[in-house]
Chain A
C-alpha cells in the first residue's frame, strides 16, 4: 500500500469520479454537485467514462445483475484506482437486507477501500472520505501537518 501511495502521489492532483449508482443512489451525491458543497473546488469531477476515473463511487443497493456491470466498470478504470461505497445499502444491503436479489457483502464482488455509512451519507462524510484519499497519496498533508520540503517547492 505504501508503494502504491508513492505511485499515486505522482498521478493524482485531483480525483476524478465515475458514478455507479443504483436506485436512490445518486440522491446521495447530488448535494455535492450543487453550489452549497461544490465538490469541484477540491478538484473532484465526475467523468463520463471509467477510463478517465481515479475513484469509483458505488451507491444504492446492488443487484446480482447490476454488480456484473460494476465489475466491468471497475476493470476498465486505469490503475491506481480506489472504490468508495456510499450508504447503508452497500454496507449490508441496508433496508434490502432480506431481498432475494441484492448483494449483501459487496467485498465479495469488488475491492472496496472506504465505506461511508448513512442513509444518505452526509456530504461532509463524503468529503472526509475523499480527504483520506488525498492524505494517503500525499497530495494534501494530513490535518495539522505541513507539506514536506520536496513537495512545497
Chain B
C-alpha cells in the first residue's frame, strides 16, 4: 500500500478563506473547525463540496455549568482521507439548530432523531423527530447531566412498600 500525501492545509485554507474561521490541525489527517450556529449549514454545504460526503456521526456534549450544548459533526472524505470535525455551540435553555438532513439525508436523520430524544435538541427543518428508542417516554431528556436517572427510577419503577423492591430505594 502506497502512502498518499494528504491535503489538510489545503482544506483548512479553503475553509478559512471562505468563512473567516481558523481550522486547527489536530494531528495528521484530523481537522477541527469551530463555528457559530448561524453559519453551520453553509459550512457543512461547503465541506460537502470539498469532498466530505460522509457524515459519520453527530454528537452532543452537555456543559451545564456554561449553559451550552456543544454539537460535534464528524465528516469523512473518501477522496482526501481526512476526518473533519465541525463544532458549534448552542444555548442550553433554547436548544435549536438548523437541520443538516437536506445535506446528508438519511445518515443525518437517524442521528438527529436520537439527539432530539436524548438531549431535547430541536433540529429545525427535520420533518421526523419521532422517538427512536424511548417510546412513551414522558420524563426529561435522559442524557442531560442535570437529570438524575437513579432518583427518577427509584421514584417511578420501584414499590417502597414491597419487601423485595424496597432495598433498591435505600
Contact = CB atoms under 8 A, between A and B. Distances in A.
Interface residues of B, number: 17
B168 A97 contact: yes
B136 interface: yes
Contact of B139 (A68, A100, A104): A100
A63 B133 contact: yes
B135 A98 contact: no
A68 B154 CA distance: 23
A145 interface: no
Contacts of B157: 104
B21 interface: no
Contact of B153 (A64, A68, A98): A98
Interface of B: 133-137, 139, 142, 149-150, 152-154, 156-158, 165, 168
Interface of A: 63-65, 68, 97-101, 104
Given A65-B134, A100-B149, A100-B156, 9 more contacts: A64-B134, A64-B136, A97-B168, A98-B150, A98-B168, A99-B153, A101-B133, A104-B157, A104-B158
